[in-house]
């Protein structure tokens, strides 16, 4: 048995209480056993600096056995902010998808948002969606969801989830009206990939800092109809059809918009066809990446 004497003097005063402890330990004896407090997982608890010997657990008084009546400490880590990136296709598969995934991961890292890639073969149901704040549909095409997955996606968004939909996400699920309502419009056709001038259509957090007009190269979608202007849908960007060949929607040709869906939010951009769109190169494609960043911030804003 180690020989030790502990004297504790508790001094009460009108302004509060302080404790002083004077401990004499035989220097030849081994150090006191660690109580486990330092390993409790409670960061910044201040226990190491409290002046209370390590052998006295938090839930006992001096003299109590440190092993009696001490409940286990349970620490729940904070829920991380993450998006599930879905690139599943049942139609045309864009060669830019891998570049888009890399860009989203880099964007998320810069914004403190984890971008988790969803394997195409995995189920897209509530168990897959619920751990995340939102979902990215990165050029998904065709009928890529079954009935259960469709219901899960709608429930997730309308219950407060966020949807960031990119380019060919509008080229999917044509026979499912709720999907068209979520995205806002359905793809109809496009001319050859070419440069065109983009016009910022409104002042909005998702356009803040973008030039009023800028030129970049992409595949410019025509839609089956203009996005429904009812509700709170806001067109962010338009493409100027006078600056390229083959446009078929006229002066009010939208290429990006936002709206709410139940308690959730949706950001859609029709741009993002080329791999170069996702590469920061100090040129016009950087505006597309900034456009995506601003959209992500708007989705996650209070």
Per the CB < 8 A criterion, the answer to whether 123 and 149 are in contact is: yes
**What DSSP state is assigned to residue 98?**
H
**pLDDT average, residue stretch 12-37:** 41
Q: Are residues 140 and 91 in the same domain?
A: yes
Helix (H) or strand (E) holding 107: helix 97-111
- Lowest-confidence region among 66-80, 248-262, 282-296: 66-80
Helix (H) or strand (E) holding 261: strand 254-261
Task: State the pLDDT at residue 191.
Answer: 98
Q: Are residues 135 and 271 in the same domain?
A: yes
Q: How far apart are CA 82 and CA 79, in angstroms?
A: 9
Task: State the pLDDT at residue 118.
Answer: 98
Q: How far apart are CA 299 and CA 292, in angstroms?
A: 11
| Packed helices 285-300 and 97-111: angle between N→C axes, nearest 10 degrees | 50
Per the CB < 8 A criterion, the answer to whether 183 and 275 are in contact is: no
Task: State the pLDDT at residue 147.
Answer: 97
Q: What is the pTM of this model?
A: 0.75
Q: How far apart are CA 87 and CA 141, in angstroms?
A: 9
Q: Are residues 113 and 246 in the same domain?
A: yes
Which residue, of 29, 48, 77, is where some domain finishes? 77
Confidence of residue 170 (pLDDT cuts 50, 70, 90): very high
Q: How far apart are CA 298 and CA 291, in angstroms?
A: 11
CA 32 to chain CA centroid, Å, is 46
**pLDDT average, residue stretch 273-285:** 92
CA 209 to chain CA centroid, Å, is 21
Q: Are residues 145 and 293 in the same domain?
A: yes
Which residue, of 77, 110, 140, is where some domain finishes? 77
Per the CB < 8 A criterion, the answer to whether 139 and 100 are in contact is: yes
Q: How far apart are CA 276 and CA 94, in angstroms?
A: 13
Q: List the beta strands (DSSP E) in the chain.
A: 4-13, 16-25, 82-86, 114-117, 134-138, 162-166, 187-189, 194-200, 213-218, 222-223, 234-240, 254-261, 264-269
Residue 11 lies in domain: 1-77
Q: Are residues 214 and 93 in the same domain?
A: yes
Task: State the pLDDT at residue 79.
Answer: 53
Q: Are residues 39 and 109 in the same domain?
A: no
Q: Are residues 26 and 91 in the same domain?
A: no
Q: Are residues 288 and 238 in the same domain?
A: yes
Which CATH number does the domain housing residue 205 bear? 3.40.50.880
Supply the mean pLDDT for the chain: 82
Q: Are residues 15 and 133 in the same domain?
A: no
Confidence of residue 284 (pLDDT cuts 50, 70, 90): confident
Q: Are residues 71 and 105 in the same domain?
A: no
Q: Are residues 44 and 143 in the same domain?
A: no
Q: How far apart are CA 300 and CA 290, in angstroms?
A: 15
- Lowest-confidence region among 14-23, 96-105, 179-188: 14-23
Confidence of residue 229 (pLDDT cuts 50, 70, 90): confident
Q: Are residues 156 and 45 in the same domain?
A: no
Q: Is 190 a residue whose pLDDT tops 70?
A: yes
**pLDDT average, residue stretch 228-245:** 93
Q: How far apart are CA 265 and CA 32, in angstroms?
A: 56
Per the CB < 8 A criterion, the answer to whether 271 and 239 are in contact is: no
Number of domains in the chain: 2
Which residue, of 11, 43, 77, is where some domain finishes? 77
Q: Is 48 a residue whose pLDDT tops 80?
A: no
Q: Which residue has the tokens 């400490």?
A: 73
Encoding tokens for residue 45? 């608890």
Q: Which residue has the higher pLDDT, 196 or 10?
A: 196
Encoding tokens for residue 13? 């005063």
The per-type count for the chain, helices as H runs and strands as E runs, is 5, 13
Task: State the pLDDT at residue 21.
Answer: 38
């Amino acid at each position: 048995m180690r020989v030790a004497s502990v004297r504790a003097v508790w001094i009460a005063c009108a302004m509060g209480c302080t404790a002083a402890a004077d401990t004499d330990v035989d220097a030849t004896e081994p150090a006191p056993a660690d109580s486990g407090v330092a390993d409790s997982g409670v960061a910044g608890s201040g226990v190491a600096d409290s002046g209370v010997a390590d052998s006295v657990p938090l839930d006992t008084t001096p003299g109590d056995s440190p092993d009696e009546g001490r409940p286990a400490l349970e620490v729940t880590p904070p829920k991380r902010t993450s998006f599930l990136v879905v690139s599943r296709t049942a139609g045309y598969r864009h060669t830019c998808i891998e570049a888009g995934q890399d860009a989203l991961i880099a964007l998320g890292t810069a914004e403190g948002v984890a971008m988790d890639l969803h394997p195409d073969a995995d189920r897209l149901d509530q168990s897959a969606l619920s751990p995340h704040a939102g979902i990215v549909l990165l050029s998904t095409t065709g009928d890529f969801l079954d009935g259960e997955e469709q219901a899960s996606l709608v429930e997730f968004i309308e219950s407060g989830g966020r949807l960031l939909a990119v380019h060919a996400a509008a080229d999917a699920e044509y026979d499912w009206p709720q999907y068209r309502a979520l995205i806002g419009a359905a793809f109809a056709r496009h001319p050859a990939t070419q440069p065109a001038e983009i016009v910022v259509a409104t002042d909005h957090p998702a356009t803040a800092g973008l030039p009023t007009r800028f030129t970049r190269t992409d595949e410019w979608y025509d839609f089956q109809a203009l996005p429904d202007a009812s509700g709170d849908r806001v067109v962010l960007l338009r493409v100027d059809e006078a600056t390229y060949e083959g446009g078929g929607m006229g002066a009010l040709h939208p290429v990006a918009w936002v709206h709410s869906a139940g308690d959730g939010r949706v950001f859609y951009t029709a741009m993002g066809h080329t791999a170069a769109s996702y590469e920061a190169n100090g040129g016009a494609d950087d505006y597309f990446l900034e456009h995506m960043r601003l959209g992500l911030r708007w989705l996650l804003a209070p």
